[in-house]
Structure 1
Amino acid sequence: MASDLPPTIDPVAAARWHERAPALSPWLHEEVARRMEQRLGWIREAPRAWCHWDPVRGGLEAHALLRQRYPDVPCLVNETARHRQAAAHEALAPAWWSTERWGRGAVTFGAPQKGSVQMLWANMLLHSEADPRALIGAWQRALDVDGYLMFSCFGPDTLRELRAVYQKQGWPEPAHAFTDMHDWGDMLIEAGFAEPVMDMERITLSFATPERLLQELRELGSNLHPARHPALRGRRWHRTLCQALATDLALPDADGQLALSFEIVYGHAFKPVPRVPVAAHSAVSLDEMRSLLKSKVPRT
């Protein structure tokens, strides 16, 4: 697989965004998580433990839906951005007097141990990751054999109207490129996952004003493209941008409403029993032996 596949991400900018992104769950993230949660109905066996990876940005309301679906299943919350860990504790930790602190479905915080969970949930995260293969590998290691990954992210058709506006004005790209779902499927297989199922849908949002549209985009993410505009722009440029948005994104017969589309990619894959290389003499680790001896869990 080519190393220069999208996303075209500046790793320094990506790390800065990860550490400074607002401690809130954007509306679109919550909506995507709600739709992804409905897909869990296809899986017959509940996990014995699951991990919510970066829930503050991924969706705190969605976390409540998952807890309702699996009320007796322990949940590990792994908020990887330090400045959002306090928000995760405040929103998700049971009160000190609550029996949920010691119940079967207790919530704990921290990074998952190797093979410790049967479901890993990561919503709207992967498209802003500078090293997605490393992140997918970390997810694979956290899962137990026959555990499964549920994730979502932006696809390449996201913001196509905004990209057209910038191209028309002769400006640099307004956002980094987003990876195609087939490339995500290839990366999952490379990381050791099996049976990846990739799906996508397009969501079109409308906005009353250019200012509201730009506010929504600021909450959703940051432009991580290496060739993005190198400096801050002034009020004149901002006025030109707002005028271009109002003209080029206006819906016909919609009282000036502006439309912007988002491609949402959904991914689902299992961690299979590890393969033992066949040779005259083969060495198998204790962890691999335990995995090989585990019985299969019914899937879908």
Structure 2
Amino acid sequence: MNEPAPPPTSNKGPRPQDLDAAALQHQARRLSRADQPPWLHAEVAGRMAERLGYIKLRPGRVLDAAPALGASAELLRLAYPDAQMLWHETDALLAARAAEARSLNWWRRLRGASMGQVEVLPARPEVDLVWSNMALHACIDLPALLEAWQASIAVGGFVMFSCLGPDSFVELRALYARNGWGRPAPDWWDMHDIGDLVLKAGFADPVMDQQRLRLTWASPDSLLADLRALGGNLAPTRFGGLRGRGWRQRLMAELDTLRDAEGRLALTLELVFGHAFKAAPRLTVAAETHVSVDAMRASLRKGREPG
């Protein structure tokens, strides 16, 4: 009897931004057991929250996408204390972590704050804000996710997100290439490419920008520990075998070459930020036009709003 072929373990398509699906699942399993979200994510969440002040809309329903590692729940609660807070995780283990974190938060339960789980996207009923902190660079199919977000947002609502950019850890890329060690990380999506995908997904008026941070460490051990806390190497083209003790010793020696004038190990980090709105659908005129009732109602409501 022929047994069915095993499912594919990686997503090795033509795009350089593709990730290894098996490695992604392994890292999600490891990170779900961590005591707290990655150290960088809380910092980036704070920078994202500062941008909410530029948005006039006061959302009544907020969806925190990938909250288990996003470190954003309290920031969103402070920004929108009267909003209904929802959350969604694509990975089952991270969803379990997020659910446990909310069940243990007695202070939030005492205040009666609503933190419902959205198990499947698109969210129904629609939300006014989809928020995603430091998750898109670990997404297997970014175009599909953006389309699901767009379908989850009510007309007039918006999405706000952050992720790693392609210039992150460029020093490691050169170091690995010099030693023939494969890729230390995927080729993450460029800011402009993400903006194009946001438009293609149906959003309007995307605003994209990036920031560069210079991170320093005193020792190779502390550098590697912090990088491990952020997640593992998800590049399909990474070295596929097991690394030995000799390789680690050589890696530590190579990392020592990254010291700056002050004797600190230095790496570059690129952060990509973006937000966009969901506009009312445009009705095209043709000999025969098919329009959903929901789209027609949204368009009529938009036309009645005062200018």
Query: Relative to 1, partners in 2 of residues 1:80 and 1:243: Cα closer, same or farther, differing over 3 Å?
Result: same
Shift of 1:8: 3.4
Query: Relative to 1, partners in 2 of residues 1:55 and 1:279: Cα closer, same or farther, differing over 3 Å?
Result: same
Corresponding residue of 1:192: 202
Corresponding residue of 2:285: 278
| 1:11-160 matched pairs, under 5 angstroms | 11-22=21-32, 23=34, 24-59=36-71, 62-93=72-103, 95=106, 98-101=109-112, 105-111=113-119, 113-114=123-124, 116-160=126-170
Contact 2:280–2:302 (CA under 8 A) maintained in structure 1: no
| TM-score after normalising by structure 1 | 0.89
Corresponding residue of 1:249: 258
Match for 2:178: what amino acid? K
Name stretches of at least 5 consecutive residues in structure 1 with no aligned partner.
none
Contact 2:28–2:93 (CA under 8 A) maintained in structure 1: no
Secondary structure in 2 matching 1:251: coil
Secondary structure in 2 matching 1:145: strand
Corresponding residue of 1:164: 174
Match for 2:95: what amino acid? Q
Shift of 1:99: 4.7
C-alpha deviations, 1:112-154, integer Å up to 9, x for none?
Answer: 5245100000111111212110111111111111110000111
Shift of 1:87: 2.6
Match for 2:279: what amino acid? P
Secondary structure in 1 matching 2:68: helix
Shift of 1:161: 0.8
Structure 2 CA distance for aligned equivalents of residues 107 and 89 of structure 1: 9
Secondary structure in 2 matching 1:295: helix
Corresponding residue of 1:293: 300
* Identical pairs, percent: 43
Structure 2 CA distance for aligned equivalents of residues 56 and 97 of structure 1: 16
Match for 2:116: what amino acid? T
Contact 2:39–2:229 (CA under 8 A) maintained in structure 1: no
Structure 2 CA distance for aligned equivalents of residues 202 and 78 of structure 1: 29
Deviates more, 1:6-15 or 1:196-205: 6-15
Name stretches of at least 5 consecutive residues in structure 2 with no aligned partner.
1-12
Shift of 1:91: 2.5
Secondary structure in 2 matching 1:57: coil
Match for 1:274: what amino acid? P
Structure 2 CA distance for aligned equivalents of residues 20 and 263 of structure 1: 24
Which segments of structure 1 move beyond 6 Å, counting only runs of 4 or more?
none
Shift of 1:98: 4.0
| TM-score after normalising by structure 2 | 0.87
The count of corresponding residues between Structure 1 and Structure 2 is 288
